[in-house]
Structures are given as C-alpha cells and as structure tokens.
Amino acid sequence: ITACQPDDTPHRNATLENIGSTITTLALRTRFSGTNDTQTNPEQSLVWMVSHAFRPVFGKAQSFHAEPRAASAALTATLGVIPETILGNSGGAKGKMSVDPKHLEAAVNELRTRGFGDLWNALQHLSSLDTDRRSIFVIMAKWATFL
C-alpha cells in the first residue's frame, strides 16, 4: 500500500527503506547463519537474496493489477539501503546489530568484492520493469557513498 502512493513522499521512502533494511538484515542472518562462515550457496549473494525476495511480490502485484511501479519502488528502496544496513552510517554496523562479527565481516567483504556485479544484474531486471530511471541513479549514488 505504501509503495502505491503516487509520488515520492518522504513517508513512503522512509517506510520502504526501513522494510528494505529489515529484509537485508534477514538475508544477512540467513546467508551466514551456519556454525562457521562458509556460505550456504556461493551463487546466492546478499544482493541476489534480497532481489529474489521480491519475485513473489511482483507476481502478486500483477495478479492484483496493482500500480506497476509499486513493486519496483519497493525493490528500488531495498537495493539502495543494502550497503548502509551492512556498513552502517558511522563506521559500520558493529555494535548496532546483534550479528557475529565474522559474519558481518564476511558480508562486508562480499559487498566489496561482488556487490556491484550482483547489483548490476538486479538493476538489469529492474530496468526491464516499469520503473523510474532516476531511481537507478539513486541506488548507485547510495552504493558509491559506502563502497
């Protein structure tokens, strides 16, 4: 419902970014939840997990004939907050999230080594949807701030 608001209101963006941060945290916990820091599936990065979490949302939105930009607005907001969620806005997420420091470090390394490539793949899919092209630049600017 929030994503369906017709304009980019600060309320909508803040709400979607909070949801995106939560999804990112859940993906981080799922990806690195084993007893060691080996990854469950090396092909499924954090960015991949987050972007694929929205596949059912897109399907459901189409079945309801919802505003086509609604689901892409949610994905856009979520992709934009991944680095800030993992790295934090003042020196990192250590001390702010209850996550094993080794898992947090593995997530940071993953974002720095393959994050942009995975983001590019997610943006390719996003650009094929009915989305505002400016939002792709906003995502890239947010990522550039942290990485």
pLDDT mean values, one per 10 residues, the chain (147 residues): 56 82 89 62 85 77 65 82 80 61 88 90 75 79 85
pTM of the model: 0.79
- φ/ψ region of 49 (left if φ > 0, alpha if ψ in -120 to 50, else beta) reads alpha
**Residue-level pLDDT at 134:** 79
**Residue-level pLDDT at 118:** 92
Give yes or no for a contact between 75 and 51, defined as CB atoms under 8 angstroms apart. Answer: yes
